[in-house]
Structure 1
Amino acid sequence: MTRDIDGEIQALLPLAPAFLHILIALGEGERHGYSIMQDVAERTAGRVKMSPGTLYGSIKRMLAEGLIEELTTGTAGADERRRFYRISKFGRRVAVAEADRLKSLLAQARESGLVPKRS
């Protein structure tokens, strides 16, 4: 029996905002939880402040869905208590699909006059 990857991706869309923020943070490389929270706050200029409960609850679900992976060995020189995560190949495909979905939605909003057209 073959896996229907495209179907699995579509079943996860739309992504919860926290999932997308985490995938974006991990898109540049592996990170530990606190680093993910800092990255999200920095990328959003402080508009999104992810609580530890939201972060770790999301991480647990994302691990179960195969969107991210926990590294079995920490990054060199890292605190052994920290758990490091990275985006999986499947997670990267889901993030791309979500970005495409949002791009299409933004185009529709521009067409309807809800968002100014680019000059």
Structure 2
Amino acid sequence: MIYTCRMREPTFHILTALADQPRYGYDIIQEVSTLSNGRVSLQAGTLYAALDRLTDEGLIHADREEVVRGRLRRYYQLSDTGGAALRTEIARMRADAEAAEARLRRPGTARPQVAS
């Protein structure tokens, strides 16, 4: 599946969290919070539903499992398809930001006040 429309913010952050290395659930939650400067806070139920959906869509896959303190820990990894979808979303976001900046540079465009 190739994303052709805007990716939801939690999906974007989950894929980004998995871009550099495999991670397990709690680690993904922590990494998403760090990546978003605390703006995105995933609950465990939401995360695992998203992981199931992203696995079904072929954007991620289970990398390995290990038992830690008697509990199963499953690591997820970004797939090649997931990497392509993430790159596409980054390009879309960059183009949108550039279009917005171009509009703000037009003569007569009101400049927003920067809070100090």
**TM-score band (shorter)?**
0.7 to 0.9
Paired residue for 2:20? 28
With over 3 angstroms needed to count, the CA separation of the structure-2 counterparts of 1:10 and 1:62, relative to structure 1, is closer
- Cα deviation, residue 95, structure 1: 0.2
Given candidates 45, 48, 55, the residue that maps to 1:53 is: 45
Greater helix share, 1 or 2? 1
Q: Which has the larger radius of gyration?
A: 2
- Runs of 4+ in structure 1 deviating by more than 6 angstroms, as ranges, are none
* Distance in 2 of aligned mates of 1:35 and 1:97: 25
- The runs of 5 or more residues in structure 2 that have no matched partner are 112-116
Greater strand share, 1 or 2? 2
Sequence identity (%): 31
- The runs of 5 or more residues in structure 1 that have no matched partner are 1-7
How many residues are matched? Answer: 104
Paired residue for 2:11? 19
TM-score (norm 1): 0.79
* Distance in 1 of aligned mates of 2:39 and 2:8: 16
Q: Deviation string for 1:47-78 (max 9, x for gaps)?
A: 2111112211111110010000012x336xx6
User: Contact 1:31/1:86 (CA < 8 Å) preserved in 2?
Assistant: yes
RMSD: 1.9
TM-score (norm 2): 0.81
